Amino acid sequence: MTGSTRKIDEQLEAASHACSRSNTQLTELRRTVLGLVLQAERPLTAYQLLDRLKETRRGAMPPTIYRALDFLLDNKLIHRVESLNAFMPCEAGHHDCAVQFLICTECGQVAELEDRSVSQALDRAAQAAGFRPSGTIIEIEGLCAACAEA
Ligand SMILES: [Zn+2]
Ligand SMILES: [Zn+2]
């Protein structure tokens, strides 16, 4: 077993425990889909995930993957990166919606930041405009450290 396979197994185990604590169940299908998201080298779209799922579940259909992804989103195990329409694992575990994504336009890697001062500043600005924000998700495009160096 490679180091990364073991890490993914540990993440799946942790996700399974988190689900039972919140009285939901990480079924075998949901666990498989979460495993695909964790194994991916970069965020994948639902259809890319469906293609990978079909390698082990030939009968998998779009609703199969969408239902599993909805469950994983609801339980904060994964994130949807809106501008890519793609899914990535949540690196931080359970947290609220104050997240920033750093999207590399060169290699497609996405890193997750959770800088509260950024989201609080935006919330204050929105409130000053009479707007009541319910969540702040920011997607920043650019070059990751590795690509910027190359
Ligand atoms: Zn996260
Ligand atoms: Zn990059």
CA 44 – ligand 2 centroid, Å: 15
What is the distance between the alpha carbons of residues 56 and 30, in angstroms, rounded to a whole number?
13
CA 58 – ligand 1 centroid, Å: 30
Minimum-distance ligand to the CA of 77? 1
CA 148 – ligand 2 centroid, Å: 7
pLDDT digits (tens, 9 = 90+) for 42-75: 999 999 999 999 999 999 999 999 999 999 999 9
CA 14 – ligand 2 centroid, Å: 29
CA 103 from centroid of its chain's CA atoms: 13
pLDDT digits (tens, 9 = 90+) for 116-139: 898 889 989 999 999 998 877 899
CA 104 – ligand 2 centroid, Å: 5
- Tokens representing 103 are 């999207």
The domains of the chain, with CATH numbers, are 3-89 (1.10.10.10), 99-149 (3.30.1490.190)
Q: What is the largest CA-CA distance in the chain?
A: 54
- Sheet of 99-104, strands arranged across: 110-113, 99-104, 137-142
- Whole-model pTM: value is 0.86
